Structures are given as C-alpha cells and as structure tokens.
Amino acid sequence: MKIAVLGGTGLIGSQVVKKLNAAGHEAVPHSPSTGVDVISGQGLDDAVAAADVVVNLTNSPTFDEASPAFFQTSMDNLLASARNGAVGHVVILSIVGADRVPELDYYRAKVLQEKILAAGPIPYSIVRATQFMEFMDAVLSWTADGDTVRLPATPIQPIASRDVANAVAEVAVGAPLNGIRNIAGPEIFSLDELGRMTLSRKGDSRTVITDPAAGMFALVKGDVLTDTHAHLAPTRYADWLA
C-alpha cells in the first residue's frame, strides 16, 4: 500500500513511517524539510498524488489562538490535494476528550480538524489519543519557577508515543472507520502525581505543588481526558520512565 505520511518527520510520524515500511508498505514521510508544506500547499499535490492512504500527523507550531487557523488551512489544503489524486483514506490523530474542553484553543482546533475531515468527500479515520508520555517534560516546563513546579490534579491517562504509532499504523492500513477510535495508556494518574514521579525518576529535586489554577490543564474539569473504554495500550508510565 502507498501511504503518504504528512508530518512524517515528527515524534509520531517518524515512528509510523518506520512501522509501515517494516510491514512491507511504501510509506513516504513529508514535511517542510522534504519540500511539502500543508499551509502554503507547496508540494502537497505531488506528495499525495500516488498515495492510496494519507496519514496527517502534522502539528501546529503553537498551542494558542493561532492553532485553529493551522488545522483549518492544512485540512482544507490536504482535502483539495487528496481529491485530485486517488486517495481512498485519510487518517488524522486527535485527542481523547478534545470536544469536552472548548476553553482550550488547541483542543478546539483539533475538533475543528476532525469536523473538516468528517464533512469532506474522502473516507476517513480519526484516532484520538490521550496525552503522550513524551509530552510530560513540556508540561513541567510551562509552570516551572525556581525550585517548584505547579500542577493541577487533573486526571491523565498517558500513552507512550510508540503505542500511538502502532495504533495509527494499524488504522492506516485497515478499512476507513468513518468515525473515531480512542486509544489510551493503561493507567490513570493525577497530573501533579505524574509530575512528582517524573522529577523523582530523573533525580530532579524540584517540588511539585498541587495548584488547581496552574497551567493549561487547569481548564480541564473532571476526568474528560481519560477513557477506560478506549483501546488500552500496553506501556506503563513507570516502565517508560525507566
């Protein structure tokens, strides 16, 4: 199967490309560094022209109010190019519970991306993942101040990027879902607890202070970012940290 992986140089995209090629498919990574830009449209027609499947793993450069425009423009351009080719399946990676936190610009942007895809003419699959384990360092950096990091107790079900890549690759070569598949890590933690585990494992002496008003996840009310009925991935956070 010929598969164009947009964002194929990123954290998830690079692993998806490797898995698909190892399984005997012909997966090609695309990104600005290979001359393909989903915003300007440069190189996009050629990138998807011969593809049976397009997997879109691009990401907005910021998580702020500019992110909806990124996902709107990139999906409009992608669907226009895919229509010109013979693409029979478009796959995107979104976020479990994104529709339940409209207060976050980035989550609204991901829901917009899903809606554009679902309303378009091409059979599709939406994989929604929980927060990547690899994302924890960024979360810790947002509210770090000297010897402390402030984090709310938001329930989080972290998933390893390799498990996400496995799930995306599996969906990409299957029949279009024309719907959503939720994937999640095997355990739920509170974000402050995850922060403490992470710092302790890294020998980082900073203290995590539980603060319901700290950082982006303060806007998340209740356990809307977790899903115990999702496809559960195998990797546990402590094993991943080790």
Please report, as ranges, the residues that interact with ligand NAP according to CB under 6 A. 6-7, 9-13, 31-33, 36-39, 57-59, 93-95, 110, 129, 131-132, 135
3-state secondary structure of 117: helix
Residue 168: Cβ within 10 Å count: 26
Q: Minimum distance between the CB of residue 51 and ligand NAP, rounded to whole angstroms? A: 15
- DSSP string covering 154-177: -EE--B-HHHHHHHHHHHHTS---
Between 62 and 207, CB nearer to ligand NAP: 62
Question: How far is CA 179 from each of CA 55, 89, 224, rounded to the nearest angstrom?
Answer: 15, 12, 19
Q: Minimum distance between the CB of residue 71 and ligand NAP, rounded to whole angstroms? A: 8
Between 42 and 146, CB nearer to ligand NAP: 42
Between 11 and 49, CB nearer to ligand NAP: 11
Between 6 and 173, CB nearer to ligand NAP: 6
Q: Minimum distance between the CB of residue 9 and ligand NAP, rounded to whole angstroms? A: 4
C-beta nearest to ligand NAP: residue? 10
Residue 20: Cβ within 10 Å count: 25
Q: Return all residues near 138 (Cβ < 8 A) that are at least 6 apart.
A: none
Contact 61, 69 (CB under 8 A): no
Between 77 and 149, CB nearer to ligand NAP: 77
Q: Minimum distance between the CB of residue 199 and ligand NAP, rounded to whole angstroms? A: 19
